[in-house]
Every structure is written in structure tokens, then in C-alpha cells.
Amino acid sequence: MQVGFVYSEDYLEHDTGMHPENAGRLRAIMKGLEDADLIDMLYPVKPIAASTGQIQLVHTSEHIRTVKDFSLKEKALDGDTPTNNRSYEVALLAAGGVISAVDAVMDSVSGVDSVFALVRPPGHHAKPDRSMGFCLFNNVAIAARYAQKRGLGKVLIVDWDVHHGNGTQEAFYEDSSVLYFSIHQYPHYPGTGRVDEMGVGEGRGYNINVPLPGGANDADYLYVFNEILVPAARKFRPDIILVSAGQDGHKDDPLAGMNLTSAGFGQMTGVVRSLAEELCGGKLVLSLEGGYDYGALSDSIVMIFRALMGEIYDVPEMGDVSNNTRQLVKKVINLHSGGKIL
């Protein structure tokens, strides 16, 4: 079993200055992997820039032109989403990096079955027609459609970023071929992700939101994974699993209020990895989303890679599952009961 990673120094050229989503995040991650002596144990997957046709699998032509024009003018796409004159090209390379990861696991390049795409800018807030929340193009959504263009039928997207992936939800809200599962802090930015946002039409039931209150810990997240994600995935039976891997739920992150530990992210990765091995031949791609404390982000990524490599470890002082979480899980299951997934 070989674990891959996507990285390019070009990702540092989306220069956002002192913005929370800045190049220092990737520098910290790469240093953490080097300090942990992991780099030489991982297979490097070279990213190739996505074509405009691949971006159009999710985004409108007008949106693509807007990102390009604003980047050339170094204008912010919204109050949270700055650009510089390299942002458009780097965003194409970020989306292409996740596509390259999909190719690697589909083709089992050098025995690779899982890849973590360490890309930026992130993507899960980007809607088909709008950039927002630090995100220019929706890297994971584009990769999902690309995998389907390559012949895979069903895609499971697991989003554990602390913010709800409103852009990903919107992209697949009427689609039964993509199961979107999001566990996130609520209420919180961007304000979406309620339990009753379940999809419409053919997509009803294929959108599962678990909006946890602030303060949720490792035990809460793992309880949700075991009670909701695992049975839903087994019923859906995906052909590939994609993860919007934001580590901003960490207890040390400055932009949120959750209590996850670095080891907790490793535990969640272990669950998803086991599901991939059981259901889709191990085909698993993770894409970097949030995480804004350098130390917490770096430590969490190290734990995630160790879990992808098959290491098993205990979470120290994981805590108890809260009554709020237990009640929320019951509510989610009740709302989806009798549906196609739960």
C-alpha cells in the first residue's frame, strides 16, 4: 500500500499577505512532514493545471472569466477572498492537483491507492457561479465530476472542515450520484448546513449535514462517523471517496470553536480509509481545505498521513460524547429514515 501526496511550490504564489489563508500554511505542513521523516515514505504526485473545460464541469464560463479578470487586476473576489496576479493560474493548478490525485488512485500509479492533495487556494465554499470564503474554484467538486467523466459512477464526498461546504452542497444538491456528507460547526460561517438541507428531486437524501454546536470533541466526531457516515457509505457504495480535509476544527484554531485534537483527525482518517478499502478498492483522495494555526495544522496533517499509512493509535483523553451530539444524530437519522441512504 502506497500513499501519495500532491504539492508544488507554485501554490505559494497565490500571495494573500497577512490573510489567514496564506502561503505559510503549506510551508508549515511541508516542514512538519519533513520533521516527521515522512516525505521519503510518500509517493509524489505531480500536479497538472486543470483545463478550463475541466473547471467547467462545475463552474460557469462567466465565473471562470471573473476569477481570471479579478486576478489580473489583483482585486478581491469578495471581502474574504483576495487575489494577486498569479491567483488564477494557481487556482487552476490547485484544481488540477486534485484531478492528478484522482488519476493516481484510479490508475494505481506505483501502487498508490490514497493521495492527499496539499493544494491552495482551498475550494469547498466556491459555488458554480461565485467565489467566496477564501475559495476560487471548488477543487473537490471538480475532481468528483472528473472521476465520473473517467467512468466512475458514484462519488462520496466527506467534508470535515469546520465550515459547511456550501459550494459543494450546491453543486450536487439535485444529484443522486454524489453523496455529500458534511460535519461542521453551526451556527457559523457561511450560515448553511442545516439538518433539513437534504437535497431536492433526485438528490433528496443524498445530502447529509451534521451541524454540531461549538465545543464538539474527538469523541463527538467519531460517534457521528460511526453512527451516520459508516452506514450511509455502506448503503451508497461509492466508487471513490473524496475528502474536503479542513483541519480548522482543531482546538487551537483561531477561526472556530471546536475541540478536536491532531490525533482525532488521524482517527477520522482511519474510518474513511477503512471505508475506502471495504467499498471502493481503497480509492481515496483528500484535498486540503482550512486550518489556520500552523502548529495544529501541521501536526494534524502528520497524523492524517500516518493513518493513511495504516498506523493505529489511541486518542488521549478523547472525552465523552455529549448529549447534544447524541440528540443531533437521532434527528439526522430520523429525518433521513425511509430514504435511500439512511
**What positions carry a catalytic annotation?**
125
Q: Does residue 57 contact residue 65 with C-beta atoms inside 8 Å? A: no
Exposure b/e, 286-314, CB count within 10 A at least 16 = b: bbbbbbbbbebbbbbbbbbbbbbeeeeee
Distance CA(274)–CA(225), nearest Å, equals: 12
Beta bridge partners of 150: none
Q: Does residue 341 contact residue 154 with C-beta atoms inside 8 Å? A: no
DSSP 12-77: GGS--TTSSS-THHHHHHHHHHHHTT-GGGSEEE---PPPHHHHTTTS-HHHHHHHHHHHHHT--S
237: left (phi > 0), else alpha (psi -120 to 50), else beta? left
Distance CA(131)–CA(123), nearest Å, equals: 9
Q: Does residue 128 contact residue 170 with C-beta atoms inside 8 Å? A: yes
